[in-house]
Structure 1
Amino acid sequence: MIKDDRDRQFPAGGSRLSLIAIAGLIAGVILIATLIKTGDYSLLCSIAKSRSQPINGFSDMETQLRALVHYATSQITPQQNHDEISVTYDVLRNRNPCNFLVFGLGYDSRMWDALNPQGKTLFLEEDQKWVDEVLKGAPNLHAYAVKYRTQLKEADALMDHYRTQPTCFPSNAYLRGNDKCKLALTGFPEEFYDTEWDLIMIDAPRGYFAEAPGRMAAIFSAAVMARNRKGAGVTHVFLHDVDRKVEKLFATEFLCTRYLVKGVGRLWHFEIPAADKTTGHDDPRFC
């Protein structure tokens, strides 16, 4: 029996966060709880002062503490393992605060939100019921339920479509209202289009059975947003489940192996420059 992506993401073995990491989280919670209880805020204040950006009152720290307590006391493992998480964490540590777009809403969402204090972290999920369920326990998360126009079984046909549809070509591609290009994500919240994303995590939608949306459109649209970037620097794109055929095929076609800077486990990390900073902007292919 094929399991749901979310079920598959919580095995009891090697993909759990290491015992050392869990022990560190628990120790951190105990230490912070002790400091708060005894009224000794000196360490907390020193942490705040050491940040490159000022803490927004108590709200940012409260978000981080709640996430810390949640993961230290939970038996559920986040979608990615420790080494995979560390890849994105290293970028967030250097880019925070930033605009972080996450395809997927799950047991790791509190962590991603807490790792981007003062930044914007937006989650996109295909299942409204799942969004409602997650937000019951974490109402501070910023999430939307969205609809995809694709199905995994259409992957090959969608690749052929992109090569013949001018509005899919890299020099012409856009997202909002681009109904002719079947790989363009349309009908999403305005915030999705109006924000220039610094980091994009693709860990959804589901892509393990024929009628599932698959990640073809998410990968294509991430490439379009990265190429259309106006601000300084590159767009960091993180793609999970690259052990699967479709994820690997579409990543190679649209995110480009020359922009692949790191691969750990089932996660690939790309650094994609804006199109005006690359050569061959008028080429009919992305890579």
Structure 2
Amino acid sequence: MPPQLSNGVASQISPSVQFCNGAGLRSSPKHGGIARRTKFHGKNLLPVLVLVLSCLSILRLLKIAMITSHSSSSFQSNAPSTVDLEFDRRLKTSTASALTPKEFMVLSKIITRKAPCNLLVFGHQSQYVNLSSINAGGITVFLEDDPHKTSEIKADFNGTRVYNVKYQAPAKKAYDLLKHARGNPACSPATNMMYQSTCKLALRNLPEEIYKLKWDVVVVDGPTEDSLDAQGRMSTIYTAGMLARGAETGKTTDVVVHDVHRTIEKWFSWEFLCEQNLVSAKGKLWDFRITADQSNSTSFCSSETVHLMS
């Protein structure tokens, strides 16, 4: 509430208006005539002051609201859209897992040495656009779980095929899946018809030609995401090892795994691709050369299994 004004203060504020308790008109000797003095009570002025102050407060609030609204709209216009954030996320993910020039050179030499051949790639990076040209005359198949990346690959170019796949095993299940594979005969390399396997690591929903073709080179670089809740590469590494061992007896298949600095890639590569099959390593890229063996062996590696801390 505005402060109460005394008669003295009010007379100072408005010299031409006097507050008095008397009534009537008095003569003014100074002006030589009768001066009309209007009488007001202090309580009659309070509503007017309250109204004025209220109007000023409302105007001030409106001004603040306009400034806030302008700042908000300006921020929103400069803020990235959902599409921009998604693109930025995919760009960062792609850059973080991209092959270095030396790593790509190693991969190119492996494919060149066997071209034209059957090349299977789990995942897709921008550099892989050139793999179809390197493998001209052969068959190049990409298996990618990101629809955005799938649309970037030119199918039917130099025998290129593209399939969108779904993975069901998050990275946080890696240790449980590894224990499952070690204790389940259905996960052994002697298993036939992997698309009917009961092993939890087996990818059973791939296109039919993936199981029928005999692969010369298999590249594991997908799924791309790297977090506990994202899809891990446990199944792709296991499946790559199974496909290599399912070829004709004596046939060799190069299984190339990228990002081996990560725990899952390292664990599962040692477990299902085996140290004795490692023929080269460059940066974060390992090349395992596996010879198909139809001896119905129940173990992947001849050496002692790598033991993991529980």
TM-score, structure 1 normalization: 0.68
Q: CA deviation at 1:233?
A: 3.2
| CA distance in structure 1 between the aligned counterparts of 2:161 and 2:280, rounded to whole angstroms | 28
| CA distance in structure 1 between the aligned counterparts of 2:222 and 2:183, rounded to whole angstroms | 26
Report what 2:73 is aligned to. none
CA RMSD after TM alignment: 2.2
- The question of whether the paired residues in 2 share the 8 Å contact of 1:167 and 1:173 is answered with no
Assess, with a 3 A threshold, how the Cα gap between structure 1 residues 241 and 6 changes in structure 2: closer, same or farther: farther
Report what 1:229 is aligned to. 247
Report what 2:57 is aligned to. none
User: Unpaired runs of 5+ in structure 1?
Assistant: 12-77
Report what 2:131 is aligned to. 112
- The question of whether the paired residues in 1 share the 8 Å contact of 2:273 and 2:300 is answered with no
Match of 1:102 among 84, 97, 121: 121
Matched, 1:151 2:170: yes
Structure 1 residue matching 2:298: 3-state secondary structure: coil
Structure 1 residue matching 2:254: 3-state secondary structure: strand
Matched, 1:7 2:26: no
Q: CA deviation at 1:128?
A: 2.2
- Structure of greater relative contact order (alpha carbons < 8 Å, 6+ residues apart): 1
| CA distance in structure 2 between the aligned counterparts of 1:199 and 1:6, rounded to whole angstroms | 27
Assess, with a 3 A threshold, how the Cα gap between structure 1 residues 265 and 123 changes in structure 2: closer, same or farther: same
- The question of whether the paired residues in 1 share the 8 Å contact of 2:94 and 2:125 is answered with no
| CA distance in structure 1 between the aligned counterparts of 2:98 and 2:214, rounded to whole angstroms | 25
Match of 2:277 among 245, 259, 276: 259
Report what 1:160 is aligned to. 179
- The question of whether the paired residues in 1 share the 8 Å contact of 2:155 and 2:162 is answered with no
Q: Aligned AA for 1:265?
A: G
| CA distance in structure 2 between the aligned counterparts of 1:110 and 1:127, rounded to whole angstroms | 16
Matched, 1:130 2:215: no
Q: CA deviation at 1:4?
A: 5.4
Report what 1:205 is aligned to. 223
- The question of whether the paired residues in 2 share the 8 Å contact of 1:100 and 1:121 is answered with yes
Q: CA deviation at 1:92?
A: 1.7
Structure 1 residue matching 2:126: 3-state secondary structure: coil
Question: Which is higher, the Rg of structure 1 or of structure 2?
Answer: 2
Q: Aligned AA for 1:282?
A: S
Report what 2:6 is aligned to. none
- The question of whether the paired residues in 1 share the 8 Å contact of 2:124 and 2:142 is answered with yes
Report what 1:169 is aligned to. 188
| CA distance in structure 1 between the aligned counterparts of 2:131 and 2:284, rounded to whole angstroms | 18
Report what 2:298 is aligned to. 283
Deviation readout 1:10-40 (Å, 9 max, x if unpaired): 37xxxxxxxxxxxxxxxxxxxxxxxxxxxxx
TM-score, structure 2 normalization: 0.64
Deviation readout 1:134-190 (Å, 9 max, x if unpaired): 14x777342110011211110000001112222102222542122x21100111111
Report what 1:184 is aligned to. 202
Matched, 1:217 2:235: yes
Q: Aligned AA for 2:133?
A: A
Deviation readout 1:207-256 (Å, 9 max, x if unpaired): 41112111100110111111111165310010000000010000000000
Q: Aligned AA for 2:175?
A: D
Percentage identity across aligned positions?
33
- The question of whether the paired residues in 2 share the 8 Å contact of 1:174 and 1:184 is answered with no
